[in-house]
Amino acid sequence: MTLPELSSSLLYVAFIAYLIATFVFGGAVKGNKEGSFKSEGRWGKIAFIITLIGFIAQLGYFFTRWAATGHPPLSNMFEFTTAFGMTLVGGFIILYLLYKTPVLGMVVLPVALLIIAFASMFPSEVSPLIPALQTNWLAIHVSTTVIAEGILAISAGAGLIYLLKVVDMEKKSKQRFWLETIMYSLIVVVGFVVASTYFTLTDYQAEFTYINKDNAEASIEYNMPPLVGMNEYTSLTEGAMEPLLETPAIINAGKVTTVLWSFIVGTILYWIIRLIARKRIAAIFKPFLKNVNLQLMDEINYRSVIIGFPLFTLGALIFAMIWAQIAWSRFWGWDPKEVWALITWLFYAAFLHLRLGKGWQGEKSAWLAVAGFAIIMFNLVAVNLIIAGLHSYA
């Protein structure tokens, strides 16, 4: 087995371990009848050990890939997103050691699984570094940032548990709507993974030529049936689906198509689950959360932010500025990725001021933590894939 092969096998092992651990954590929480914390402790411990095995395997993936390529695997969408899944689990491990809360594992691990699955939809072969990335700052800046984001994401996990417990799913309210929207958007990510996997396995391909924004002819390959066509497109593949509508030249219809398929598959999945369960997705979790200590969740939420925020400042702003000064001759250039790192930082600064200065604890804090995660995900996904900038390495 070559080093890159070993590396990807280890990632598989990690994925499977997280998957198993999710269910064992779920069992630990569910099996725990009110008042008896023994079974929670025992099964929680087993689930935690499985998580640790997975985490060690993923560290193995990370370092064997580093050894194979000679550079830290943090250089493209697949590598960064996978590492984000890893630091999320790492953050969970730290907070589990502090607070021993299986319920956090039950919520955080599936999110980590989703992130790793999402990552593997991007090209995963080992690729060489462009000149701008050939420096130790790649390891320093990106690893600090991804660790900080992993820990900040834990605060969102704790916030989500808090909300799942306190928001009344029986009565119509804004809170109920937004909480269900969060659950729905997680399922849309599942939809993306399912759709991409299906069309990759069936080897779907359709080629088109079109007129790009500079009025030149260009070509594009769709890996999903083209729901939306490029500007003045012509199909080159026989029997390919006729796009339902045409977009202006500045819009990449290939990406729009992917997003649409994710929503279609995600929505179908959502309704299947909802109809089988006969309740909203957020309500399904209620029975698991009977014994959740809300104060503890609030504490975990806050603790993760005060660990994550200084790390984020260091990695995503200070180290980023030092590197930008070396590589691009200016420490700050209002590149979209930079701007969104600043937005993330400002958001958590506001979070801390509201919490410490205005007493926004409990539910308000929980909503803020979830919103912070949404901003981090936006910076990861949308800024890389939609908004073009210096950081679009994927």
Partner 1 sequence: MENLVCKCGHKNPPGTILCESCGRSLTEEEQSKKLADMRYEGTARRSQTYNKSIIDKIWNFFSSVKVGVGIIVVLLVAAAIGTILPQAQYVNVPVRNDATLQAYYADVYGEIGKIYYFLGLHDMYSSFWFITLVGLLAISLIVASLDRFVPLYRSLKNQRVLRHRSFMNKQRIYAEGQAPDDVLVKAEEKLKELKYNVTLDKNGLLAEKGRFSRWGPYVNHIGLIIFLSGVMLRMVPGFYVDETLWIREGETRAIPEAPGYYLESEKFTIETYSGEGDEELFEDALDRVGTVAKNYQTDIVLYQTPEESLPGATDEMEMMKEESIRVNQPLKFDGYAVYQMDYKLNELRAMTFDLTDKETDASLGTLTIDLVKPEDSYDLGNGSKVDLLGYYPDFSGFENGEPQTATPVPNNPGFLVRMYTPETPEGEVSFIVIQDTIEPLGENQYKLTFQSAETRHASGLTIRKDRTLPILGLGGLIFMIGVAQGMYFNHRRFWIQQQEGGTVLLAGHTNKNWFGLKKDLDQVSEYASLPVYTDQQEEVEKKEKLDKEQKVEGDELR
Residues lying near partner 1 in the complex (CB under 8 A): 4, 68-69, 123, 125-128, 130-132, 134-135, 137, 213, 248-250, 306, 309-310, 313-314, 317-318, 321, 325-331, 333-336, 339-340, 342-343, 346-347, 349-350, 353-354, 357-358, 383, 387-389
* Tokens coding 138: 């790649």
* 158 in Cβ contact with 369 (< 8 Å): yes
Compute the distance between CA of residue 105 and CA of residue 22 in angstroms, rounded to an integer. Answer: 7
Three-state DSSP at 220 gives: strand
CB of 172 to partner 1, least distance (A): 22
CB of 354 to partner 1, least distance (A): 6
Sequence-ordered list of residues with C-beta below 8 angstroms from that of 112, at least 6 positions apart, any chain = 18, 85, 86, 88, 89, 92
Compute the distance between CA of residue 121 and CA of residue 116 in angstroms, rounded to an integer. Answer: 9
Nearer to partner 1, 204 or 345 (CB): 345
Nearer to partner 1, 1 or 334 (CB): 334
Nearer to partner 1, 77 or 89 (CB): 77
CB of 278 to partner 1, least distance (A): 28
Nearer to partner 1, 56 or 386 (CB): 386
CB of 249 to partner 1, least distance (A): 8
Nearer to partner 1, 31 or 310 (CB): 310
DSSP class of residue 202? T
- Beta-sheet strands, E only, within 90-242: 206-211, 217-222, 228-229, 234-235
Nearer to partner 1, 134 or 234 (CB): 134
Closest CA relative to residue 91, chosen from 26, 161, 152: 152
Angle between helices 143-166 and 363-385 (to 10 degrees): 140
Compute the distance between CA of residue 365 and CA of residue 160 in angstroms, rounded to an integer. Answer: 10
Sequence-ordered list of residues with C-beta below 8 angstroms from that of 288, at least 6 positions apart, any chain = 26, 29, 30, 103, 106
CB of 137 to partner 1, least distance (A): 8
Nearer to partner 1, 59 or 354 (CB): 354
Angle between helices 38-69 and 3-30 (to 10 degrees): 170
CB of 26 to partner 1, least distance (A): 29
Nearer to partner 1, 261 or 302 (CB): 302
Name the phi and psi angles at 229, rounded to 5: -100, 155
CB of 61 to partner 1, least distance (A): 16
CB of 319 to partner 1, least distance (A): 10
